Chain A
Amino acid sequence: MNNKEKYVKAFVEALNVGEESVEQLKYQSVEEWDSVGHMSLIAALEEAFDIMMDTDDIIELDSFEKGMSILSENYEIEF
């Protein structure tokens, strides 16, 4: 699995959403991505990439796209 696939998988599994819709996701745009879902998502991302995110990044991560830029800028994960 490449990084993009791992990233998508974390969203699909943590938020229980379909793979086809993940790219448009924003925080609070679907019921599943609420504050509870957010913590599951962060745990899934941390496990998938073996990282520990800063609290600021956890708060800033508010869309599928934003998450990729945070991971690549601050955690050296290339997509």
Chain B
Amino acid sequence: MGDGMGGFEEMLELKPYSLEKGEKERVLGERLIGLSRQHYGACEEYQRVVDAFGVDLGRVNSYYDLPFLPVRLFKELELRSVPEGEIVKTMTSSGTSGQRVSKIYVDRRTAGYQQKVLVKLVSSFTGNARMPMMILDCPSVVKNRAMFSARGVGILGFSILGRDRVYGLDDEMRLDVEGVVSFLERHKGERIFLFGFTFMIWQHFYKELLRLKERGVRLDLSNGILIHGGGWKRLESEAVSRREFCDRLGEVCGLKEIHDYYGMVEQTGCIYMECEYGHLHASVFSDVIVRRPEDFSVCGIGEKGIIQVVSAIPESYPGHCLLTEDEGMILGEDDCPCGRKGKYFSVRGRLKNAEIRGCSDTYGGNF
């Protein structure tokens, strides 16, 4: 696919949270409508969906009017818009054993865009310098290199932002106390980058730090910045709120800077970072539209509905316009006190009858 009209290379030059509504809808719309037409010509299944929606892509001029694929379609169909030989990696969604997993087919170009966008988004929060990085997970997550789980995709994507990377847990999910201590000694006084999945962090990192603290051992992570994602469902069942998660981590190791993110393997790269005010933000590369379940009309600000996500990245598979199984609401647009432009929103959990899914959530099944 060319980088002519609606191409992505120029978009990549944009600052991630720089465009206000009108301009964003124009720039992102051009790209998304262009992508829809490309996929229509290249992917038979996508073509059938568009036709079933009765949409004439030649006449669409807003991305709000593009057909959206339910994420579970990627479990049922192999959706690709490039020849099989060009696929360089296949990513799978999380799914507990017995459930079917989504398969996302990525070629070189789309993989490059995913990485570039992720770096732009995250470094706008963390700064450009690559920090010493501790991954709060076990090394075996990235062992199967042909098939990446959602957890592996997250870890690898964020790894580029770190240096002297260590894993905080061993393959039995035990905290590697010795390794962590020597890592912290090595980087005393430096800013440390921590990355992991919400439930794993709580279960295997926080709880272990708490035990250590009771024995008089306290790790100091007050120079740390933690970015975590993967969903809250498992923590909700333990009645741990977002607020409590942050407060308790702060108490046990001094960690002050904590950002959640919302994202999914079907739209890798375009994550939604949580700002200093606890709001999730859409960047210029993606958007969130909340819809009413009865008729899929667009919800107003503050009105709960089903989350639709759009991403300017996917070229090798028709995943640019998806209906998730999450509920949420738009909190505002262009006016978050943090100063970032674009929509900001919150996620209120899974749809009632949707399958339980989420990176940290699925893991809990083995527990």
In the complex, how many angstroms separate the beta carbon of B113 from the nearest chain A beta carbon? 10
Contact assessment for B156 and A55 in the assembled complex, using a CB-CB cutoff below 8 Å: no
Q: Is B173 an interface residue (CB 8 A)?
A: no
Q: Bound complex: CA of A44 vs CA of B165, how far in Å?
A: 13
Q: Is A28 an interface residue (CB 8 A)?
A: yes
Contact assessment for A55 and B145 in the assembled complex, using a CB-CB cutoff below 8 Å: no
Residues of A contacting B130 with CB < 8 Å?
52-55
Contact assessment for B123 and A36 in the assembled complex, using a CB-CB cutoff below 8 Å: no
In the complex, how many angstroms separate the beta carbon of B277 from the nearest chain A beta carbon? 26
Known contacts A35-B111, A59-B115; A52 and B160 CB within 8 A of each other: no
Q: Is B142 an interface residue (CB 8 A)?
A: yes
Closest to A46 in B: B163
Q: Which of A34, A54, A55, A59 contacts B88 (CB 8 A)?
A: A34
Contact assessment for B145 and A59 in the assembled complex, using a CB-CB cutoff below 8 Å: no
Point out which of A28, A53, A55 has the most chain B C-beta atoms below 10 A from its C-beta.
A55
Residues of B contacting A28 with CB < 8 Å?
88, 108, 111
Contact assessment for A55 and B161 in the assembled complex, using a CB-CB cutoff below 8 Å: yes
Q: How many residues of B contact A (CB 8 A)?
A: 19
Contact assessment for B160 and A55 in the assembled complex, using a CB-CB cutoff below 8 Å: yes
Q: Is A27 an interface residue (CB 8 A)?
A: yes
Q: Is B112 an interface residue (CB 8 A)?
A: yes
In the complex, how many angstroms separate the beta carbon of B190 from the nearest chain A beta carbon? 12
Residues of B contacting A36 with CB < 8 Å?
142, 145, 156
Contact assessment for B161 and A35 in the assembled complex, using a CB-CB cutoff below 8 Å: no
Interface of A is mostly: helix
Known contacts A35-B89, A36-B142, A39-B159; A59 and B112 CB within 8 A of each other: yes
Q: Bound complex: CA of A36 vs CA of B143, how far in Å?
A: 9
In the complex, how many angstroms separate the beta carbon of A56 from the nearest chain B beta carbon? 8
Q: Bound complex: CA of A55 vs CA of B193, how far in Å?
A: 15
Q: Is A48 an interface residue (CB 8 A)?
A: no
In the complex, how many angstroms separate the beta carbon of B160 from the nearest chain A beta carbon? 6
Known contacts A34-B89, A36-B156; A52 and B163 CB within 8 A of each other: yes
Q: Is A58 an interface residue (CB 8 A)?
A: yes
Q: Bound complex: CA of A43 vs CA of B159, how far in Å?
A: 11
Q: Bound complex: CA of A77 vs CA of B163, how far in Å?
A: 20
Residues of A contacting B108 with CB < 8 Å?
27-28
Q: Is B219 an interface residue (CB 8 A)?
A: no
Residues of B contacting A58 with CB < 8 Å?
160
Q: Indicate with 1 or 0, residue by residue over B263-290, a CB within 8 angstroms of chain A CB atoms.
A: 0000000000000000000000000000
Residues of B contacting A46 with CB < 8 Å?
163
Residues of B contacting A53 with CB < 8 Å?
130
In the complex, how many angstroms separate the beta carbon of B318 from the nearest chain A beta carbon? 22
Q: Bound complex: CA of A39 vs CA of B165, how far in Å?
A: 10
In the complex, how many angstroms separate the beta carbon of B162 from the nearest chain A beta carbon? 9
Q: Bound complex: CA of A52 vs CA of B164, how far in Å?
A: 10
In the complex, how many angstroms separate the beta carbon of B77 from the nearest chain A beta carbon? 25
Contact assessment for B142 and A55 in the assembled complex, using a CB-CB cutoff below 8 Å: no
Q: Is B119 an interface residue (CB 8 A)?
A: yes
Known contacts A34-B88, A34-B89, A35-B156; A55 and B119 CB within 8 A of each other: yes
Q: Bound complex: CA of A58 vs CA of B130, how far in Å?
A: 11
Q: Is B297 an interface residue (CB 8 A)?
A: no
Q: Which of A34, A43, A52, A54 contacts B145 (CB 8 A)?
A: A34
In the complex, how many angstroms separate the beta carbon of B150 from the nearest chain A beta carbon? 14
Q: Bound complex: CA of A39 vs CA of B163, how far in Å?
A: 10
Closest to B108 in A: A28
Residues of A contacting B115 with CB < 8 Å?
59
In the complex, how many angstroms separate the beta carbon of A64 from the nearest chain B beta carbon? 16
Residues of B contacting A55 with CB < 8 Å?
119, 123, 128, 130, 160-161
3 A-B pairs closest in CB distance: A28-B88, A55-B119, A35-B156
Interface residues, chain B, with chain A CB atoms under 8 Å away: 88-89, 108, 111-112, 115-116, 119, 123, 128, 130, 142, 145, 156, 159-161, 163, 165
Could you jot down 22 A-B contacts, CB within 8 Å? A27-B108, A28-B108, A34-B88, A34-B89, A34-B145, A35-B156, A39-B160, A39-B165, A46-B163, A52-B163, A53-B130, A54-B128, A54-B130, A55-B119, A55-B123, A55-B128, A55-B130, A55-B160, A56-B119, A58-B160, A59-B112, A59-B160
